[in-house]
Amino acid sequence: MNKTLWQYYVDKASEITDNALTHIKNLNDWEIEKKQRKKEFFISMGLNVSVENLSPVIKILGEFKGKGFTAKKIAYQILPDCWSSGHFYIPNPLPEKKLPAVLYVCGHAGIGTHWYQKHPVMWAKRGYACFIFETIKQSENTGWHHGLFSGKRLDWISLGYTAAGGELLNSICALIVLCQMPEVDVDRIGATGISGGGAHSHFLAIADERIKAVATSAGISTLKSAIGNRTMFQHCDCMFANGVFQRDSCDFSALIAPRAVLYCFASQDNLFSVEEYRTLYEKVKKIYQIYGCPEKCELFEYPGPHAYSNESIKKINQWFDRFVAEEKHPDIGLSDDVIPEHTMSVFNGKSPQPNRLDLLPEFLTVQRTRHLPENKNDWEIIRKEAVQQLKNNVFHWLKRCDEKMEIKNIGNWDTSEKFFSRFTGETAGMETYIEAYFSKKPAETTILALGDYRHDTITLMKKIGEPTQNCNLILIESRGCGRNAADITQGNYCLLRAGALVGITPVMMWINDLKYIVEFFRNLSECANTKFFLYGIGEAAGACLYYSIFDEKISATVVDDVVDTHKEGCYIPGILKEIDITDASGLLAPRVFGVVTSGVTRWVSMMHWGVRVYERLGIRDKYIMKDSVFSAITEALTKI
């Protein structure tokens, strides 16, 4: 028992990968699940947009030519005031009939269209149209891939944003650009790329059935390897969907079936293990076998590092001739010709103004709004709907979760003031430590205090011992906290990133733990007839708040030293698309809520939705804002 938080994430990632697609036994199983899984994919990518509704503005800003091809410089908007760019290559001379086409998705290079230019030139010379486009972080583009990777945008977790989703939006718009070119046969389009481009072409093929075949090179990682082998430290955020549904890359890759998919990997690539990509292939291959077209799913391994080989390029060309063009094209490889960057530049250093690709995380996160109540009956309808939306859209893991806590008593003592007991709980091999102080006089209230990484039972007692003398007091060091603390407070943000990849952040773990702890103490004779009161400090305050929202038998909740927005802490995947923490406090009405805060915070400096609910219901006195724990708990005890 007592594994670390990191090991918990390693084990969870292994479980997700190992279990991926194992329950699919026949085509009927898959068809039943496929539609819901496609919906899960878009949510996991942080996108709530409809592919059919996208209509990017397109501008042709010039052209350049070379031996055997002509290329147009194209700018396009992926959202209003968010510009990207690329080049559309066609053969010169141009055949009379419409062309099969390739969407070439750039990998990570400073100016992708310049770095990878030999590929669209090759495709044009082979008789294909090809659109190659910049990622959201290349050339003049101002987007970013490294929010969680760097630890500088941990708010992406609560926003439900991943750079993979930003790139998918870009790729879908690029596909629309390609489809609007008059030279293109829209029924014969493939997508390909390497590294980041391998990931993005793969995601695009999952999302959009206009992609008839995909050849992804060195771009797909399984969760088991990314976390277990720690390759996540070399992969940026654009390589991963969010883990909100505990799906692996192969779970989503199977959505490409029965369209053709070619996985290309170099056997000496330090970013991907041989076991990893063979597992991916073998799992997805089973779905193609169910469809009766195993020839449309293939793995091509070749010796070498993280790069193309002549053999892999030839294989990709043959793959597209077979499954996109459906006819053989000239066997032409990459040329040595290089077009100067200044000739190719679409914006020449100055993109259209404004260009706010840097705000994609915010543009793609639209928080739900809710009416304020006019009366108590009105409030009950609003509250129930909001709670159900939280359960369905954010906390659905809690319903699926099979992590039960076994709580054991490890000792009882009779002290001069209270009966004292110690307990330990075990969940998924991790320890929860609990100290309980039961009043010798009949108690009216049982207070459960939950600390985060920084707080053990001693510091919790110092915080709340004085105002709780006449109550039962339960002090909880939850998983990864107290004496088993993870080192997140010292900048070890990789734990939060790993939690986002598997869809289970610490706050969500603690909410699940509270379910078992509260139930356990409710069934003890010392607590059975008492009112239950939750106190949480720091990150654990978020767990206490949301648990109390779901458990209507909690009479009062006090949060202490807690952030005033999920952008700054208490990270829960995708929570900001539903509600922020100050607004969520209103969902406790008409029960008692208290917040311990000082200085200028959203809790006290604005009439946010949460406090306005209490105001509207005529119970403003039950919404307590204090600058000390003593005064907040003391007043809360008088209100319940």
Express each pLDDT in 598-628 by its tens digit. 888 999 988 899 999 999 999 999 999 999 9
The predicted pLDDT at position 490 comes to: 57
Contact 249, 19 (CB under 8 A): no
Structure tokens at 393: 């859209």
Domains of the chain, start order: 27-363 (3.40.50.1820), 376-639 (3.40.50.1820)
pLDDT for position 1: 66
> pLDDT value at position 486?
81
Torsion of CA 332, 333, 339, 345, to 10 degrees: 100
* Nearest to 557, CA basis, from 475, 432, 433, 450: 450
The answer on pLDDT for 263 being more than 80 is: yes
pLDDT (tens digit, 9 = 90+) per residue, 535-572? 999 999 999 999 999 999 999 999 999 999 999 999 99
Query: Which amino acid makes up residue 144?
Result: W
Across 130-134, 246-250, 332-336, least confident range: 332-336
Tens-digit pLDDT profile for residues 153-181: 999 999 999 999 999 999 999 999 999 99
Whether residue 496 contacts residue 157, with contact meaning beta carbons closer than 8 Å, is answered with: yes
- Which residues are within 8 A (CB) of 599 and not within 5 positions of it... i.e. 6 or more apart? none
Largest separation between any pair of C-alpha atoms in the chain: 97
Task: Find the Cα–Cα–Cα–Cα dihedral 393, 399, 400, 406, rounded to 10°.
Answer: 140
Cα–Cα distance, 247 to 41 (Å, whole number) = 9
- Spatial neighbors of 403 by CB under 8 A, at least 6 apart, are 427, 428, 512
Among candidate residues 600, 293, 319, the one with its CA nearest the CA of residue 311 = 319
**159-to-14, 233, 559, 574, 577 alpha-carbon distances in Å:** 26, 22, 22, 5, 7
- Confidence label for 50 from pLDDT (cuts 50, 70 and 90): low
Dist. CA 30–CA 25, nearest whole Å: 8
**211-223 as b/e: b if 16+ CB within 10 A:** bbbbbbbbbbbbb
